[in-house]
Amino acid sequence: MLELSHHILDIAENATRAGSKTVRITLTEDTHSDRLTLEVADDGRGMSAEERGRALDPFFTTKKVRRVGLGLPMLADAAQRTGGTFTLDSAPGRGTRLEASFGLCHLDRQPLGDVAASLVSLIAGNPDVDFVYRHRHDAAEYVLDTREIRQELDGVPMSHRDVLKLIRDNIVEGLEEIGSEG
């Protein structure tokens, strides 16, 4: 994965496969401390101690289709290459929370990529899951909460083409307004 938006997509998809009803994604760009932090928290089934212990092993996965799980190891490596950190907290019945921090201006930090496209893909592919995306750039903040959008739609499906276009345009505009590179 060459962009952080792809990591977001991968992690959130894992959360939906784990039965999450709500996935919270927070990106914080702090230019003062030269840090970019990605946090993803879900209310899915969580991981056992064994799964959590092996989560960064590229040859371990709970997926049945393929026998490698490169997403988390690649994210942890990407963070650590920039002087950042990676933490994973999970327990059965409690969900999972991970945090990856990066040197914001570090030469090896992956670009954010097309965050809007990743979020729209998540929403389109998981219309019954709620996503809360919070993006902070220093003091400015953009928030997208599909629960609020769903209320306004009054029965129109979240996966409707026009709704997805509106959501994408809103994300792009919101990120531009706060001065984010995403």
Q: Cβ distance 74 to 57 under 8 Å?
A: no
Which residues does residue 50 pair with via DSSP β-bridges, in sequence order?
Answer: none
Which pair of tokens denotes residue 70? 């490169």
Distances (CA, A) of 3 to 10, 57, 98, 109, 158: 11, 21, 17, 9, 26
Angle at 91 between CA 87 and CA 97, to 5 degrees: 35
Which residues does residue 103 pair with via DSSP β-bridges, in sequence order?
Answer: 35
Nearest to 69 by CA among 124, 114, 17: 17
Per-residue pLDDT, 50: 81
Q: How far apart are CA 140 and CA 131, in angstroms?
A: 20
pLDDT above 70 coverage of the chain, percent:
90
Q: Write out the residue range of the structural domain in which residue 153 sits.
A: 4-178
Question: Domain total for the chain?
Answer: 1
Which residues does residue 87 pair with via DSSP β-bridges, in sequence order?
Answer: 99
What pTM, to 2 d.p., does this model score? 0.91
Nearest to 103 by CA among 37, 149, 160: 37
Tell me the CATH number at 165: 3.30.565.10
DSSP state of 82: T
Structure confidence by residue, pLDDT tens digits, 156-181: 999 999 999 999 999 999 999 999 97
Average pLDDT, the chain: 91
Output the tens digit of pLDDT for each of the chain's 182 residues: 689 999 999 999 999 999 999 999 999 999 999 999 999 999 999 988 887 777 676 655 555 554 444 688 899 999 999 999 999 999 999 999 999 999 999 999 999 999 999 999 999 999 999 999 999 999 999 999 999 999 999 889 999 999 999 999 999 999 999 999 76
